[in-house]
Amino acid sequence: MDWDFYGQHLIPALNDGLWISILLILPSATGGLALGILTGTIRTFGPPWLKRIGNFYAGIFRGTPLVVQLFILYFGLPNIGIYLSPYAAAVTGFILCSGAYQSEYIRGGLSAIKRGQLMAAKSLGFSSTGSIFWIVLPQAMRRALPGCGNEIIYLIKYSSLAYIITCIEITGQARDVATTYFRFTESFFVAGLYYLALVSIAGIALGKLEKKLYIPGFGKQH
């Protein structure tokens, strides 16, 4: 085995890409979840016109390929005078796409909470917004957490698409090394291990979060 190739070329390059991937994943996961909570709440409790906007947004970004969305953000927007850096275009695309999927999980969680709780909260003096924010949403988040966590796992993996708009993360670095040294199998195999490690760490963290937020008698703990 050519250890010099791994130690001097592949691993340093992938480590550089790893930091870019982390810088892509963290704001995208946070922003996507926040957008998903907002959109999911609007789609469940908003006025009809706002629900239609939320449904339209979710339908567009769930119904079109992420790679097409990234191409529009990076290559298409300059035609109307909007210029995004590769990093900004990638994060924007990931947030918008992830937020659409997250909104579906949040909407499902909100729909699972009995409407009687909302009425009871209002009878105690809570406003409609306060009832949703303080009573319904925290319960819905516990129900939606497995789905939301699964979307974060997906986000880690489809962050690999950033390289197609020249944001060179793990996959982009692996491609560059592979084409330079003609070591495609080794380069992409090790890159896959990097993604596997990221997914495993995220899975463990999400599992611990589920246990921490678990309330006895509320749902089923696995």
What's the predicted TM-score (pTM) here?
Answer: 0.90
Residue 135 within a domain: yes
Buried b / exposed e along 66-75 (16+ C-beta atoms within 10 A):
beebbeebbe
How confident is the model over 156-172, as pLDDT tens digits?
A: 999 999 999 999 999 99
How confident is the model over 173-186, as pLDDT tens digits?
A: 999 999 999 999 99
Residue 167's pLDDT is 95
- Domain interval for residue 22: 3-213
Q: Which residues contact 66 (CB under 8 A, 6 or more apart)?
A: 93, 94, 97, 158, 161
CATH at residue 74: 1.10.3720.10
Residue 222 within a domain: no
Residue 3's pLDDT is 78
How confident is the model over 14-29, as pLDDT tens digits?
A: 999 999 999 999 999 9
How confident is the model over 130-147, as pLDDT tens digits?
A: 788 878 888 888 889 989
pLDDT band at 213 (very low <50, low <70, confident <90, very high): confident
Residue 121's pLDDT is 78
What is the three-class DSSP state of 182? coil
**Is there a contact between 61 and 158 (Cβ–Cβ < 8 Å)?**
no
Residue 221 within a domain: no
